[in-house]
C-alpha cells in the first residue's frame, strides 16, 4: 500500500502524515485478520500527485492510501 498527501505544507510533515495514513489502513486490515506479512507499506508524502491543480477537489484526490 502507498500513502499520499497533497502538495501543501512542509515536505517532512507530509511524509509523516502519509506514513500515518498507510499505517492506519494497515492496522485496520490487521484487525480484520489480514497477516501483517502480507501488507507492505510505502509513504510518498506529496511527491506523487494524481493532480497538480490547486483546487479543493484535486487536493482531496491526492490525500489517499492506495493498494
- What is the band of 66 on the pLDDT scale with cuts at 50, 70, 90? very high
Class of domain 2-66: alpha beta
What pLDDT shows up at residue 17?
A: 98
C-alpha cell at 22: 498507510
Give me the residue spans of the domains in the chain.
Answer: 2-66
User: What is the per-residue pLDDT across 3-44, written as a single tens digit (0 to 9) for each?
Assistant: 999 999 999 999 999 999 999 999 999 999 999 999 999 999
10 within 8 A of 50, measured Cβ to Cβ: no
Laid out side by side, the sheet with 42-43 consists of 42-43, 2-3, 65-66
Amino acid at each position: 500500500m502507498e500513502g499520499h498527501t497533497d502538495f501543501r505544507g512542509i515536505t517532512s510533515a507530509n511524509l509523516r502524515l502519509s506514513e500515518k495514513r498507510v499505517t492506519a489502513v494497515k492496522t485496520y486490515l490487521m484487525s480484520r485478520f489480514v497477516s501483517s506479512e502480507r501488507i507492505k507499506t510505502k509513504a510518498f508524502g506529496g511527491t506523487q500527485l494524481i493532480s497538480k491543480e490547486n483546487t479543493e477537489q484535486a487536493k482531496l484526490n491526492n490525500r489517499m492510501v492506495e493498494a
